Structure 1
Amino acid sequence: MLLMEGQKIVRIIISKLFGTDNIDINFEGYVKILISENGTGKTTILNVVYYTLTNNFEKLLEINFESVEIQFASGKKIKINRQNDVFKYYNDYARFKNELKMNDLSFGQFLKRIQSSYYIKDVKGMNKSRKKVGLNINNEYADNFESYRKNLDTELTDIEILYFPTFRRIEEDLNKLGVSNRQIDDGTLIKFGMADVENRIEAFRKSISDSTLALFSEVNGVMLTQLVDGINVTESMRESIKNIDALQVVLDRTGKFLPSGYKYNIQHLMNSGELYRNPKYDTLVFFLSNLIKLYDQQREKDNAIKKFVEVCNCYLEISGKRFEYDESSVKITIKQDKHSEPIELRSLSSGEKQIVSLFARLYLNFEEKKFLIIFDEPELSLSVEWQKRLLPDILDSQKCIFMFAVTHSPFIFDNELDKFARGLDQYVTYVNEENGQNG
């Protein structure tokens, strides 16, 4: 099988899902889109994969299946079976944790009960509230668990797993936590998502502003050294400051450290060309060329913001809205039209919020991470045109190295990803059928 660049997972096997279904999915590339109607178990398949990749054994215990195996392009694999040591330990741990919550046990009673387990060796510690208990498991089982985690960590180094469940699924989880439907309909969840976007935007703005001032101080230090040793202006320095737009941004970002009168004079010298011709401005040329280096050091963050704005506007402009990025002030605003006052993120529609939140997560992050994305029904709240472009736009970000999505909308793959779409039923066999029985 020819592997596409960046592919991580090549096969997923889930045995006896719901006690009846065997799932065996091969990945021919780094994208797989499964098509199926509601009620066929596609969300449960995603949950099994996600919980396995994130070591969430407690959630896996809630799902009816016998085993799950994930094979990686490297040739390594991880497998969890309900009968193996790791799962048995977590099953015991979850049971004892529930008993601790439900029963008013003394420490001595709890100690006797928990040490009767074959898998648990001793209690490491317990705080007064008994909400947290440290447990040691026998070395044999600890080694198995560590081997599993080591393989997983090796395969997912510098990779972040993003799971986008359906709003319906989030609603169910909130109900389990005691959050009412009225609260959900109020938009509590979506407001939280927009708060995350606002925090990411502010973090980028502050990072650029702070580094500008820090580097400005550094440039001043270099200037003092050069004034003592003698300034040597090269032709490349003169060329570097001929990008007037970039220089304007850098000057604006220096804020109060460079008075507006000096900025005006520098702009006049640039526009007239005198700055580049007259040797008496060599000191200024040296200073400005170092400021341009400062701008270049921030270019990656600037480009991330620009790309985020550009992609989001492809969706927002349909309703007359758009993001605007002012490089000089490092400020992002949303406007209904070019002449209106800025509007707030929370005033966007649910579909617009979904888009903005998703691309903020991809573009507005400081770490050089790639993403493994699991997507449940990405079509929800999106227009037909948005459905057609969403997944290709995610892949065009160059941030996603692997995508596993399930859908019942044909428009999600009405694009260049059509070749990666398959019906879920072709990967499902029934237990009775495999045993040669009629089922």
Structure 2
Amino acid sequence: MYKIIKIEIEGFKTSSRNLAIEFSKEPVSIIFGENGCGKTTLLRILHGVISQNSSILYNENVKKIDLYYTIGNPENIKKVTVKKNEESDIQTITESSQISFELDNYDWSEFLKPEFKEASSMLFGTNRGISSSSININPDIIIEFLDRSNFYREFRSRSRIHSFAYELSDFLRRDIRRKGANSDRNINLKEMHLDLNNINMESIERILIERYRLAKKVTNERVQKALFDTLSVALSVDSNEIGRTGIPEEESKMIIAHKERLIEALSSSPENALRDQLIKVLQSEKDFSRLNNSLLPSLLLKMTLELQSEKTILNSIDVLEKVFNDHVRKNEKKLVVTYEGVYIQFAKNRHSLSELSSGEKHLITLLTLFIIEGSQRSFILIDEPEISLNIKWQRKLLTLLNELAPDSQIIVASHSPSLSVKNTKFLVEMN
């Protein structure tokens, strides 16, 4: 695990100002201080150093930075320096009223070590959970149109009109989102260093749908692989691996725990007699250790083990749904992710993520990116994570985020004392 211990900056916002900050010994640091002291600037500079982005340092008038860090062993503190090359003149070129700067005048030679090539980061700006009103189509508008037209006679009941309106609303929203995907500023999770500002809810929906479809694809491939591997063993003349009847009780419990996912994967497979029999057995059996068949228990166990081998990708959506739904359960809301889209189930109705409250949008944005991507990042920087969150959510937010990304160092800039109510060791004052 990477960990930044201290940073010393010569030239902070102005060339005459210096700054030294020693971070918390905990995996989370909360930077606090008066308005205008430079907390947001510090996060940007940290991100600039980690990503080796000269333009960020130049824009903040940085002359030199000493970074103290550890990798794995907390006792082995290392130091690297990046500084402005005095002999390198900034060349200004004016052409057709366009001014450009040659900014590669920082010496990054000490950052060429192989260990820095593996470091990754995410910087969250304050513009999170933004909605695009242009693709928020209210089903009530469709219902009103049908009520005023002759088309309402085509529907047998009022409930069918409502169902049609909600389905059409979802379809139009997804279609517009899909057509605009290429022109939007999509979040590219493959980038080693992400600067996440202006995160809209449509981007979050796309990330969730893509992850869900990937999980489904992996699940189906794993189940198919298990099916053919087991049949291959069964057809082998020399094999005696499937000579026993039933399976141990612990293995039976393992199959039961994955039963719904197995049924879902098998249902997506081409129809055949074996597939139908497996689904029937999964739906009816409660104890696979007593199954009087030599092939089916071994086949189901093999499929279950294949699913467990891809546990991270398959469980990320489940974890997100559970964590988010735990926060909004009192309001009778529930996040649902499907192959076709993402929506919020609310009593008997449903609505898009764009119709969530501002606090809920901020929360689902943070949770989505932490659960799906955060665990793979060395450093996660967040500007004002408390935005729009109620006091109760604020108090448990950082502990929750640390649990979701235990191998990442989390550094936040905040004005809220509620973030540190139970975690005063996280606090780092900025003078």
Cα deviations across residues 1-21 of structure 1 (Å, max 9, x unaligned)? Answer: xxxxx4511111112422443
How do 1:60-99 and structure 2 match up within 5 A?
60-73=57-70, 74-84=76-86, 88=88, 91-92=90-91, 95-96=92-93, 99=94
Shift of 1:100: 4.7
Task: Identify the residue that residue 345 of structure 2 maps to in structure 1.
Answer: 335
Task: Supply the distance in 2 between the matched residues of 1:286 and 1:76 (Cα, whole angstroms).
Answer: 52
Shift of 1:190: 9.2
Q: Say if 2:123 and 2:381, in contact at 8 Å, map to a contact too.
A: yes
Q: 1:233 to 1:345 in 2, by over 3 A?
A: farther
Q: Say if 1:13 and 1:69, in contact at 8 Å, map to a contact too.
A: yes
Q: Say if 1:371 and 1:399, in contact at 8 Å, map to a contact too.
A: no
User: Amino acid of the residue matched to residue 270 of structure 1?
Assistant: E
1:381 aligned counterpart, secondary structure: coil
Cα deviations across residues 239-289 of structure 1 (Å, max 9, x unaligned)? Answer: 423443423430232114356853564146624x5x64464x212223222
Structure 1 window deviating more from structure 2 (37-46 vs 354-363): it is 37-46
Task: Supply the distance in 1 between the matched residues of 2:109 and 2:117 (Cα, whole angstroms).
Answer: 14
Ranges in structure 1 where 5+ consecutive residues have no aligned partner: 1-5, 105-130, 171-187, 426-439
How do 1:8-23 and structure 2 match up within 5 A?
8-17=3-12, 18-23=14-19
How do 1:197-212 and structure 2 match up within 5 A?
197-212=204-219
**Which of 255, 265, 270 is the matching residue for 1:253?**
265
Task: Identify the residue that residue 346 of structure 1 maps to in structure 2.
Answer: 354
Q: 1:370 to 1:388 in 2, by over 3 A?
A: same
Task: Supply the distance in 1 between the matched residues of 2:284 and 2:393 (Cα, whole angstroms).
Answer: 47
**Bigger fraction of residues in helix:** 1
1:14 aligned counterpart, secondary structure: strand
User: Amino acid of the residue matched to residue 257 of structure 1?
Assistant: P
Instruction: Give the structure-2-normalised TM-score.
Output: 0.70
Q: Say if 2:24 and 2:425, in contact at 8 Å, map to a contact too.
A: no
Shift of 1:394: 0.8
User: Amino acid of the residue matched to residue 81 of structure 1?
Assistant: K
**Which of 306, 310, 313 is the matching residue for 1:298?**
310
Cα deviations across residues 214-260 of structure 1 (Å, max 9, x unaligned)? Answer: 23332343204422425524578454234434234302321143568
Task: Supply the distance in 2 between the matched residues of 1:16 and 1:191 (Cα, whole angstroms).
Answer: 28
Q: 1:236 to 1:76 in 2, by over 3 A?
A: farther
Task: Identify the residue that residue 368 of structure 2 maps to in structure 1.
Answer: 360
Cα deviations across residues 384-416 of structure 1 (Å, max 9, x unaligned)? Answer: 22221211111111345212222222112112x
**Which of 240, 247, 252 is the matching residue for 1:241?**
252
Cα deviations across residues 51-80 of structure 1 (Å, max 9, x unaligned)? Answer: 222122123222234322212125433323
Task: Supply the distance in 2 between the matched residues of 1:155 and 1:383 (Cα, whole angstroms).
Answer: 38
Q: 1:204 to 1:236 in 2, by over 3 A?
A: farther
Structure 1 window deviating more from structure 2 (254-263 vs 300-309): it is 254-263
2:213 aligned counterpart, secondary structure: helix
Q: Say if 2:23 and 2:428, in contact at 8 Å, map to a contact too.
A: no
Shift of 1:372: 0.6
Shift of 1:48: 1.9
Asked if residue 286 in structure 1 is aligned to residue 298 in structure 2, the reply is: yes
Asked if residue 376 in structure 1 is aligned to residue 337 in structure 2, the reply is: no
Task: Supply the distance in 1 between the matched residues of 2:375 and 2:425 (Cα, whole angstroms).
Answer: 29
Task: Identify the residue that residue 262 of structure 1 maps to in structure 2.
Answer: 277
Task: Supply the distance in 2 between the matched residues of 1:28 and 1:190 (Cα, whole angstroms).
Answer: 25
Task: Supply the distance in 1 between the matched residues of 2:199 and 2:403 (Cα, whole angstroms).
Answer: 27
Asked if residue 317 in structure 1 is aligned to residue 312 in structure 2, the reply is: no
Q: 1:219 to 1:166 in 2, by over 3 A?
A: closer
Shift of 1:336: 2.0
2:379 aligned counterpart, secondary structure: strand
Task: Identify the residue that residue 22 of structure 2 maps to in structure 1.
Answer: 26
Task: Identify the residue that residue 422 of structure 1 maps to in structure 2.
Answer: 428
Q: Say if 1:373 and 1:400, in contact at 8 Å, map to a contact too.
A: no
Task: Supply the distance in 1 between the matched residues of 2:224 and 2:355 (Cα, whole angstroms).
Answer: 40
Task: Identify the residue that residue 154 of structure 1 maps to in structure 2.
Answer: 115
| Bigger Cα Rg | 1
Task: Supply the distance in 1 between the matched residues of 2:257 and 2:24 (Cα, whole angstroms).
Answer: 46
2:297 aligned counterpart, secondary structure: helix
Cα deviations across residues 301-332 of structure 1 (Å, max 9, x unaligned)? Answer: 23322222222224333543222468xx8986
Q: 1:59 to 1:8 in 2, by over 3 A?
A: same
Q: CA RMSD in A?
A: 3.6
User: Amino acid of the residue matched to residue 123 of structure 2?
Assistant: Y
Shift of 1:341: 3.2
Task: Supply the distance in 1 between the matched residues of 2:392 and 2:57 (Cα, whole angstroms).
Answer: 36
Shift of 1:368: 6.6
Task: Supply the distance in 2 between the matched residues of 1:323 and 1:399 (Cα, whole angstroms).
Answer: 24
Q: 1:70 to 1:212 in 2, by over 3 A?
A: same
Task: Supply the distance in 2 between the matched residues of 1:258 and 1:330 (Cα, whole angstroms).
Answer: 22
How do 1:185-224 and structure 2 match up within 5 A?
192-222=199-229, 223-224=231-232
Task: Identify the residue that residue 176 of structure 2 maps to in structure 1.
Answer: none
